[in-house]
Amino acid sequence: MKKFFIILFLVSSIAGYSQGDSTTLVNGKWKENTIANGVIYKFIHFENKELFESNQYISMIEIGKSSGATLELFPSPVLKETSKMAVENGAMAAINGSFFKFNYNYNTEDYNSVDYIRKNGKNLAPNTIVNKQRSMHQLGALAFYNKELYIIKADEIREWEKYIQAQDVLTTGPILRVNGVDEKLSKSSFYTTRHPRTAIAKKSDGTIMLVTIDGRNEKSNGVSIKELQSILRWMGASDIINLDGGGSTTMYIEGYTDNGVVNHPTDNKLFDNKGERKVANAILLFRQKK
């Protein structure tokens, strides 16, 4: 009986800790701005270790289903900053995309990507398979079909992404939540260590959330994959997928800063908006076309 109460106490303590974090997040002093009809930019900075006993800077763009704004995949043939991809294509906002070959001298036919890319129905890059095993960032996909974004979990069919019925497809991952159910997570260091993270989530009402969480700084420690999963679940996500993070994590909004970068990329090791990394692809957000 004593053992039972000890276990019950531990479970209750863990549940209480999570509930406290969820309340802190949801009821926190988010700052919000409308950047277009039905599109809201919001951010919050926990500076006193209130969330997961750590400091966190979270940026989010919420895109309402009726906003008319559209998301597009943009693969760049050369590595380039997310903000520059957005500016050159007339996007009002953007986040960095999936994983890539980290070599600024690359200019290859596969768009420097290690993950599958399809654009306008044309295959641009294959998945890079190591030891006949898919990487954790090839276990899900973003599919763009008739101006709708879908978050898709991989199945057991070999090269399953090639059978997705969509004009544009990008494999990425890991996928964290599907139809309101959390996915089981690996215990590898990529999952358990705190890093800057970029993710896309979708609510059951069709609202899409573009998310960055800064890290590698005392002002924002970054999050584990489990913490990322929890944050977006608490924000109402029914589907969640991880994108490339670390030094790649970037959010751009037109006109919001001198270079449009509103989070704190880490490549210059400073907590400012100047440390942006060149990446292989980005997810661009466009205003409703009249």
Query: Can you give the C-alpha Rg of the chain in angstroms?
Result: 19
Whose CA is closest to 134, among 152, 119, 154, 118? 154
Share of the chain residues as helix, strand and coil, in percent rounded to the nearest 5: 20, 40, 40
How far apart (Å, rounded) are the C-alpha atoms in residues 201 and 206?
10
**Around 227, how many Cα atoms within 13 Å sit in the side-chain half-sphere?**
26
Identify the pLDDT of residue 136: 82
Q: State the pLDDT at residue 7.
A: 42
Q: Given this model, what pLDDT does residue 64 score?
A: 97
Extract the residue ranges of the chain whose pLDDT is less than 50.
1-16
In this predicted structure, what is the pLDDT of residue 288? 82
By DSSP bridging, strand 278-286 and strand 117-119 are unpaired
For residues 67 and 59, what is the distance between their CA atoms, to the nearest angstrom?
A: 19
What was the pLDDT predicted at 290? Answer: 55
